[in-house]
Structure 1
Amino acid sequence: MKAIFLISSLLFLTVTASGQHHEDLKPDTAVNNITINDYKSTELVLGKNSWSKQFEQAGSLPRIEVVNKTGTQILRLFFHYGGSKNSVDEFEMINIDSAYKIPKQVVHLKDGQFITSNKIYLGITKEDLVKKLGNSYKSSINGNVERLVYTADSKSNFVRRYNQHGYYIRCVFKDDILIKYSFGFESL
């Protein structure tokens, strides 16, 4: 009887321990001290009048575009309809190429690079990004471009804490180097 109890206890511990190795998404919540759903952080970094820099383009959500010091990267801050003024709902970091036209109301930051709360930045390798965010992504590959998508639904404690519908992180790699990174709450 003791042997059966011991074996069943060991099986329970083994199953429990293996269940604890499941990697959950570690959500990103900020870029260069601008925090998701926090208008105060946006105003602290961009100024109280940052809302005057917002615009809509081609059916997109209202946004503010921020350019880094060297003019090589853009940070797009998206705002959902019905949300609070200066309260960012989605972030997108991309490298600027020759096709990009800088809007007249762009904000220039003195920062050389955009870095998220999870220490993700453009130019990081796929391997390093996955070490930081985990393996719970979906992937699609087209030639030398790979896209990773991480999601959390309304059952996630993180999503519930913000009273949102869902959360995502989308990564685009070219030759295993991050060239576009976006994250935030899904708009309804």
Structure 2
Amino acid sequence: MNNSATVACLAIAIASSCCHAAALPDCLSTSDVSIISHDVFTDFPSRGAFEKFVDSGKFELLTNVADGAMLRRAGRPAKEKIDWLLGVFHDHEAVFKDMSGFERPRFSYMKGQLRGKEPSVDDGRTTTTFPKHECVREVTYRATGRQCVMSQELSNLSLTFIKDEQKLKLATVELFFVTCSETGATNR
């Protein structure tokens, strides 16, 4: 084989291995995470941010608050669920005002997917640092800081974003409360 043929074969081999390592169209990137962080958490909660990112076809609201749970069971549209959620944030400011923000985001991915490995539940991983050379499928932000207000305490507030059809989407919001005593003891 002459030098030009060797170079051509080497170029094809490199190109095909690069194709296997290239990001899939629905993988989240670090720039996607920056966009979410800026647009959603700069002025949280923002109706504009929720409306920009909500996945109207697949959005899930998971909550133990009766009115919100009823919206889910009744199959109400995403807009109604977001309206309810923003209403809860604004109507119960005392519960949310001392929230100290959100933890570092958690990135979920299937190990090896960019290298051509078939997705498997056994390969699912979650990390707080953006994984290099992996296809991040979702990023979840969870609220920190809790206080007991009128015998209610926030036990979980989390927002999960995905990239679907090459668009960033808010796929799930979880909002759960537990009862607590004003002395700080939580009943979980």
Provide the TM-score with structure 1 as the length reference: 0.29
Whose radius of gyration is greater, 1 or 2?
2
The two structures have a TM-score, normalised by structure 2, of 0.29
Going by fraction, where is helix more abundant, 1 or 2?
2
